[in-house]
Amino acid sequence: MESDKQALEYVAGLATGQNQLQVHANEPEHFAVVPKGAELVSLAQFQFAEPPVRKTGDVKVRDVKSFGFYFTRFFDEHSMIFANPKEFKFVGMLDYHEAGSIGEARRKRHKVTLQLETTERWKTWNGKDKTPMPQEDFATFIEDNLADIYAPDDEPTLPPAAVMLEVSRSLEASTNYNFKQATNLKNGQRQIQYSETINGSAAPNGDMTIPDEFMLRIPIFLNQPVVHVRCRLRFRISGGKLSMWFQMIRVDELLAEEFEKAREAVFEATSVEVVLGEA
């Protein structure tokens, strides 16, 4: 093969002195220069008898506390921290270039990265945001995640968890309901009128009152404080069937606010200003 022929010719050149392998000793590192377009390769990785000539590493951590612990263990007066709000990421560059116009350049090969992770509770609710569900499926979802629903004392219009459970369970799937219309009440809530058919007979009409909004109390990012998330409660009547869903309000603003809080927490943990940008 052509590649084997070229390899043999190259080895032959080394033997005859045509291709010289040059080793340059330049403490504390040595380099080898191989001719014919080969790259310059540091031999520091093979010098096991001595410690590495400089600290390197690309460490990944999962929360602000861990980021602060690692960064403050290795940082100096030239270390910097960069924050990327679009990716919810912080990078601590421990061997950043020295400050000043005559400051020495450094390699930027020792860093710690914090990629903020969203919690399972946030993923559960955000994953169902704006997703219509049959009434019985919606009731099951609310029941499974009831602990996340919160009603602050200063907002009496927001339903507590018990009321939300009652709303979602008001209609049992074992009977056949025919939903007719919805009426807006003076207090901002809405009332759905329905009739039910049991054993082939029509039963009297009934009403179900649905609140306009409810609130969640969940953490967005791992090991960060909980936040209050307002949700609109929505429904649709189609062909006599009821589907229900919720819409989380101001999601983008919430994420931006929580990233900024994480940025402040990183500063408190390191006492180093956090620069918006990338290294």
* Cα distance between residue 71 and residue 60, in whole Å: 11
How much is the pLDDT for 69? Answer: 97
DSSP-derived pairing of the beta strands 41-42 and 241-248: unpaired
Q: What is the pTM of this model?
A: 0.71
**Distances, alpha carbon 187 to alpha carbons 38, 164, 209, in Å:** 78, 17, 11
- Name the helix (H) or strand (E) containing 235: strand 226-238
Decide which of 137 and 242 is more confident: 137
How much is the pLDDT for 244? Answer: 86
Query: Which three-class secondary structure state does DSSP give residue 82?
Result: strand
Query: Which three-class secondary structure state does DSSP give residue 156?
Result: coil
CB atoms within 10 A of CB 246: 22
Confidence tier at 195 by pLDDT (50, 70, 90) = low
CB atoms within 10 A of CB 25: 8
Residue 23 has pLDDT above 60, yes or no: no
Residue 200 has pLDDT above 50, yes or no: no
Read off the pLDDT of each residue in 254-276 and give the average, rounded to a whole number: 97
- State pLDDT tens for residues 76-104: 999 999 999 999 999 999 998 888 767 68
Q: Which residues, 6+ apart, have CB-to-CB distance to 235 below 8 Å?
A: 182, 190, 192, 210, 242, 243, 244, 245
Read off the pLDDT of each residue in 161-167 and give the average, rounded to a whole number: 85
How much is the pLDDT for 41? Answer: 65
**What is the average pLDDT value for the chain, to the nearest integer?**
80
Q: Which two tokens stand for residue 127?
A: 């994953």
Beta carbons of 180 and 237 less than 8 angstroms apart = yes
Residue 221 has pLDDT above 80, yes or no: yes
How much is the pLDDT for 243? Answer: 84
**Domains of the chain by residue range:** 1-53, 54-115+250-279, 120-248
Q: Which two tokens stand for residue 13?
A: 């050149």
Q: Which residues, 6+ apart, have CB-to-CB distance to 194 below 8 Å?
A: 171, 177, 178, 179, 180, 205, 206, 207, 208, 242
CB atoms within 10 A of CB 174: 7
Decide which of 248 and 184 is more confident: 248
